[in-house]
Homo-oligomer: A and B are copies of this chain.
Amino acid sequence: MDQAKIYGVIMAGGSGTRFWPLSRKARPKQFLPLATRRTMLEETLARLAKLSKVSDCFVVCGALHEKPVKKLLSKLPRQNVLVEPEARNTAPAIALATAHVAARDPQGIVAVLPSDQHVSDVPGFERAVQLAADVARQGYIVTLGIKPTRPETGYGYIRVGEPLPAGGRKVAAFVEKPNLETAQQYLVSGEYLWNAGIFVFKAEVMLQAFAAHMGELSMALGEIRAAVGTKKAAAVLKRAWKKMPSQSIDYGVAEKAQNIAVLPGDFGWSDVGSFAALPEVRAKDSNGNVVEGPGLVIDSQGCVVVAGSKLLAVVGMKDVVAVDAGDAILVLPREKSQDVRKVVDALKADKKLARYL
């Protein structure tokens, strides 16, 4: 077995609004210190730094976030921040990063991680990626599936197939977000893993997969690859990017390729999908409240209280989210945390409120 290097790729193109008012257009989830005192982006790079040199790590992000990424990840070489001219879903973002790795090392192993997930068992995570890298070295595109701990309806699932001689398992199917009943069946069956968007593959293997399954993308990528490291790189990227289809890596490659493998991962993973999930990853008081900043929580249970510049007093509430951040405050039931979206929609619909986005 050769010992090709691991290159870390952090997908930081997210512009999610599920943490409004903490998250804003200019500061989406990956820039928030949601699980620890460091931002999720910093934590993700720190996690990768055990597997590869920081100079072998890349971040893919949108133009709006280039500066904050460079500021936050001061040890990352400037040229390793890859800026998407426009948001185009995960396949083009992974293609861009893979092109940069391939320019340095076509045999290099690429480990793609979303920038906004939390891992509590970092050594366990490292072992899982190393195992995935071993399988990837044999020509597989490996995804790490997460062992479900609840009947979650907010994630896609992966049905695991037969064991592979190379290690890991075949992927029997990628399945869409299920309803609750189906999710409960998935949980009980033991045959399903959460699709966490974590991929490990050899750079040239992914380039071959793009060529085989995403011809249009592959053509555009060819132009970009030819210009990597040259003076016209930026202009070529901008032009070629317009031809990039907006497609997910799951749909564009993973569901089509034959050389897909899945490894079960169990390393305290959480995507911290909404305020409701903060108690999963944060310290709680004896009444199950998560309290950050100058919060004063009295006679309350199961609340998520994120105080900001003001004293935030919460009295006699149960399972409520109260967040003061910047120029806005949010109050909603924990079980309706997804409805933050409705606020964001209302802000988008009213020009006078757009400054709160």
Enumerate A311-357 residues with CB–CB distance to B below 8 Å: 311-317, 320, 322, 324, 326-333, 336, 339-340, 342-343, 346-347, 353, 356
- The answer to whether A324 and B313 touch (CB under 8 A), given A298-B339, A342-B298, is no
Q: How many copies does the complex hold?
A: 2
Q: Do B311 and A332 touch across chains, with their CB atoms under 8 A apart?
A: no
A317 and B332 contact, Cβ closer than 8 Å, known pairs A311-B353, A327-B311, A353-B311: yes
Query: Is A103 in the interface zone, CB < 8 Å from B?
Result: no
Residues of B within 8 A of A296 (CB): 343, 346-347, 353
Alpha-carbon gap, A315 to B274, bound state (A)? 15
The reply on A37 being an interface residue by CB < 8 A is no
Which of B299, B327, B343, B347 is within 8 Å of A310, CB to CB? B327
Q: Which of B316, B324, B353 contacts A336 (CB 8 A)?
A: B316
CA gap between A312 and B329 in the complex, in Å: 5
Complex-state Cα separation, A307 to B333, whole angstroms: 19
A353: B residues at CB distance < 8 A:
296, 311
Contact: A331 with B317, CB < 8 Å? yes
Complex: A322 Cα to B312 Cα, angstroms:
10
Verify B330–A342 contact, CB threshold 8 A. Answer: no
Chain B residues near A343 (CB, 8 Å)?
296, 298, 313, 315
Is A21 close to B, CB under 8 A? yes
A320 to B353, CA, bound (A): 23
Q: Is there an interface contact between B310 and A324, defined as CB atoms closer than 8 Å?
A: yes
Report chain B residues within 8 Å CB of A347. 296
Interface centre among A310, A324, A336 (most CB of B within 10 A): A310
Which among A315, A317, A343 has the greatest number of chain B C-beta atoms within 10 A?
A: A315
Q: Which residue in B298, B313, B327, B332 is a CB contact (below 8 Å) of A316?
A: B332
Chain B positions within 8 Å of A331 at CB level:
312-315, 317, 320, 322, 331
CA distance A342 to B299 in the complex (A): 9
Known contacts A315-B343, A346-B298, A329 near B332 by CB under 8 Å: no
Whether the Cβ atoms of B315 and A328 lie closer than 8 Å is no
Q: A328, B311: Cβ atoms under 8 Å?
A: yes
Shortest beta-carbon distance, A245 to chain B, in Å?
Answer: 36
**A353 smallest CB distance to B (angstroms):** 7
Chain B positions within 8 Å of A332 at CB level: 313-317
Docked-complex contact B329 and A324, CB < 8 angstroms? yes
With A296-B346, A329-B324 given, is the CB distance from A340 to B311 under 8 Å? no
Set of chain B residues within 8 Å of A316, measured between Cβ atoms: 332-333, 336, 339
Q: Are B313 and A333 in contact (CB under 8 A)?
A: no
> Considering the chains assembled together, what is the distance between the CA atoms of A219 and B109 in angstroms?
96
User: What are the interface flags for A17-28 relative to B under an 8 Å C-beta threshold, 1 for contact and 0 otherwise?
Assistant: 000010000000
Q: Nearest chain-B residue to A328 (Cβ)? A: B311
- Given the known interface contacts A329-B324, A331-B331, A346-B296, the answer about A339 and B315 at a Cβ–Cβ threshold of 8 Å is yes
List B contacts of A314 (CB < 8 A).
Answer: 331-332
Query: Smallest CB-CB separation from A311: which chain B residue?
Result: B328
The CA-CA distance from A40 to B353 in the complex, in Å, is: 31
23 A-B contact pairs sorted by A residue (CB < 8 Å): A21-B313, A296-B346, A296-B353, A298-B342, A299-B336, A309-B327, A310-B328, A310-B329, A311-B327, A311-B328, A311-B329, A312-B328, A315-B332, A315-B336, A315-B340, A315-B343, A316-B339, A317-B320, A317-B331, A317-B332, A317-B333, A320-B331, A331-B331
